[in-house]
Amino acid sequence: MDDYGLSKGTSEMSTEWFFCVAGFVFSVSVPAETDIERLLPSFLPFRCETDKGGKLLFRWQAVSGPVPGKDEKTALLEESFNDLGHVSLWREKEGYRIDMHYTAQSPQHVMKTSCDFTSAVAYIQWEDPYVSCVCTSLLRIVYSQAVLLQGAVSLHASTVYQEGYAYLFLGKSGTGKSTHSALWMKHFEGTDLLNDDNPTVRVEGGKVVAYGTPWSGKTPCYKNLCFPVGGMVKLVQAPFNRFTPLKEVNAFVALFPGCAVIRQDGRLCDGLYDTLSRIVERVPVGRLECLPEEEAAEVCREGIRNGGK
């Protein structure tokens, strides 16, 4: 047996688990011998007993066996090297294919999904010591695309909550999103971290709500909590601290780069555009040019409290 309860030549009988993230229920099926708590530890706060008879966001199945070959008309859409590893996204006749190597020396894992990401099958190489990270990342990919058709978006942002509201800080990697969250927690009493990398934002009943998720980057913060959004701020490094309110198109443009979407898929993009348009109509959005210091947090909070005016 390996660390995940799987032995070589294990049966393909599977066990189905249900999780609820941002109000969306999805199922994960893994070989019956799999220790789900070791495979997906960050998902435990989001586990639910059944699907409650409702509609599932998606079904995700992990199987053993050889990696499937590519279809004749498979086309490479994009390739990336990031915290997910080395990822290649391919368009196929019946949906999408994702190839993943967590490190340069890791074996190849393959996931095939439907066009709308309501179903996915992952061909997992269980001997990979990073298999937990691989499964977590593959689930993140499916989830981030599936929610786009349900009035929600997965954002690359660090998020804190204070006095019943969530505040999201966006920006390119290395711009200080986590640092800015830490400044709020240090200097503003009652502030805590909701998620440090991939919160979900939904528009519900006219309100914009931020949710914690099982994906939080290098910071282990997996809180099954949600709060109405008090503000969203794009951070830019600068030798001074200045908050600029953003409205309509400018607010949309500031938030868009932080959204997870396959940009070659018109249907998914339309879902994102609709959700983002409703978000910027309802919450203060701004750009903060800043230094990593207390004053930056104070300028940011004051700008948001002024409603982006």
- Please give the DSSP secondary-structure letter assigned to residue 148: G
Looking up tokens 């800080």 gives: 169
Q: Which of 3.40.50.2020, 2.170.120.30, 3.40.50.300, 3.90.228.20 is the CATH number of 152-305?
A: 3.90.228.20
Whether 2 shows a pLDDT value over 60: the answer reads: no
What is the residue-wise DSSP string for 223-269? Answer: ---EEEEEEEEEEEE-SS-EEEEE-HHHHHHHHGGGB---TT-HHHH
Type of residue at 40: L
Tell me the percentage of the chain whose pLDDT exceeds 70: 94
User: What are the tens digits of pLDDT across the range 231-240?
Assistant: 999 999 999 9
Residue partners of 158: CB distance under 8 A and separation at least 6: 168, 169, 177, 178, 180, 181, 193, 195, 196, 197
Please tell me the predicted confidence (pLDDT) of residue 105: 86
User: What are the tens digits of pLDDT across the range 273-303?
Assistant: 999 999 999 999 999 999 999 999 999 999 9
Tokens of 142: 């499916």
User: What are the tens digits of pLDDT across the range 105-153?
Assistant: 889 999 999 999 999 999 999 999 999 999 999 999 999 999 999 999 9
Helix or strand or coil: residue 42? helix
% helix / strand / coil in the chain, to the nearest 5? 25, 35, 40
Mean pLDDT of 237-263: 97
Q: How many helices (H) and strands (E) does the chain have?
A: 6, 18
Whether 309 shows a pLDDT value over 80: the answer reads: no
Distances (CA, A) of 175 to 86, 129, 153: 23, 31, 21
Q: Where are the domains of the chain?
A: 14-150, 152-305
